């Protein structure tokens, strides 16, 4: 069974720091990777989608990279702000016989950025 | 354009009651997913529809759970004879196609509390 590990489980930093969130998978046969954030009591907001042919994707202060050979992904957040406080999730899209990309989630990284 | 919407946002049920949760996907999206998220955990896959066809229901925890999408748009997740362990947030997601490369868009979720 595919498992997703996110490190650290929780992170509390002062505003302005550059951050690194890590995600690893027990199966390196990754097709694509979508990073999400979840605010308390809310649904999931898509941040970045790294397609199978890509190694990284950037959006504003966010940069996500994917290393298929090692089964790892990293999300960089530059110049963190209090509004970045949320839980960050990097689910693995189940491969194998299914082609439609149902997602397997880990527990996420809980990020708190304080002023 | 509107995103994925879900209703009700909150539902309190007495143990043994039946509940119905609604999902309105983004217009034209072929794929629709249901996930269950327990407190402090990542979402877990329940079931998948491609248009009106339910292609995967492997994540439904018991035969008390039933989902339908009769016209290939709106979907309803029904839970019969609710139990306390059914308390969770139920998330719906849709994506435009039916391949793994498609980005998934999540709704705000329905928080179900069973007393």
Mean pLDDT, to the nearest integer, of B47-65? 95
The pLDDT assigned to A110 comes to 96
Chain segment B65-113, per-residue pLDDT in tens: 999 999 999 999 999 999 999 999 999 999 988 766 678 999 999 999 9
The chain-wide mean pLDDT, for chain B, equals 94
Chain segment A27-46, per-residue pLDDT in tens: 767 778 899 999 988 899 99
Assess contact for A44 and A37: CB atoms under 8 A. Answer: yes
Closest Cβ–Cβ partner in A45, A91, A102 for B56: A102
Task: Give the position of tokens 């951050």.
Answer: A19
Q: What percent of chain A has pLDDT over 70?
A: 93
Query: Is A96 in CB contact (< 8 Å) with chain B?
Result: no
Chain segment A46-71, per-residue pLDDT in tens: 999 988 788 999 999 999 999 888 88
Cβ-Cβ contacts under 8 Å, A9 against chain B = none
Query: Is B54 in CB contact (< 8 Å) with chain A?
Result: no
Strand partners for A89: A36
Assess contact for A38 and A108: CB atoms under 8 A. Answer: yes
Chain segment A4-21, per-residue pLDDT in tens: 899 999 999 999 999 999
Closest Cβ–Cβ partner in B6, B33, B108 for A102: B33
Integer-rounded Cα radius of gyration of chain B: 13
Residues 43-82 of A with CB under 8 A from B: 43-46, 49, 51-52
Assess contact for B54 and B33: CB atoms under 8 A. Answer: no
The pLDDT assigned to A97 comes to 52
- Closest residue of chain A to B31, computed from CA coordinates: A100
Confidence at A98, pLDDT banded by 50, 70, 90: low
Strand partners for B90: B36, B110
pLDDT: is A94 or B32 the higher one?
B32
Closest Cβ–Cβ partner in A42, A99, A108 for B100: A99
Confidence at A77, pLDDT banded by 50, 70, 90: very high
Chain segment B17-26, per-residue pLDDT in tens: 999 999 999 9
CA B23 to chain CA mean position, Å: 7
* Residue B2 pLDDT exceeds 90: no
Backbone phi, psi, residue B46, to 5°: -110, -60
> For residues A71 and A67, what is the distance between their CA atoms, to the nearest angstrom?
6
Query: Is B25 in CB contact (< 8 Å) with chain A?
Result: no
């Amino acid at each position: 069974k595919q498992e997703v590990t996110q490190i650290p489980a929780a992170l509390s930093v002062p505003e302005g720091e550059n951050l690194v969130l890590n995600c690893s998978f027990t199966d390196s046969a990754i097709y694509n990777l979508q990073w999400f954030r979840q605010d308390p009591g809310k649904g999931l907001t898509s941040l970045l989608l790294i397609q199978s042919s890509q190694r990284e994707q950037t959006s504003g202060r966010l940069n996500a990279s994917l290393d298929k050979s090692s089964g790892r992904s990293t999300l960089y957040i530059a110049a963190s702000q209090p509004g970045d406080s949320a839980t960050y999730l990097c689910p693995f899209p189940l491969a194998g016989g299914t082609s439609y990309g149902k997602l397997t989630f880990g527990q996420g990284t809980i990020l708190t950025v304080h002023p | 354009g509107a995103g994925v919407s879900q209703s009700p946002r909150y539902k309190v049920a007495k143990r043994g009651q039946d509940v119905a949760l609604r999902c309105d996907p983004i217009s034209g999206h072929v794929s629709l997913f249901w996930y269950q998220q327990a407190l402090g955990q990542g979402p877990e896959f329940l079931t998948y529809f491609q248009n009106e066809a339910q292609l995967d229901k492997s994540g439904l925890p018991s035969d008390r759970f039933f989902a339908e999408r009769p016209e290939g748009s709106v979907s309803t997740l029904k839970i019969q004879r609710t139990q306390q362990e059914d308390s969770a947030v139920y998330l719906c997601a849709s994506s435009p196609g039916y391949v793994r490369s498609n980005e998934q868009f999540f709704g705000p979720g329905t928080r179900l509390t069973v007393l």
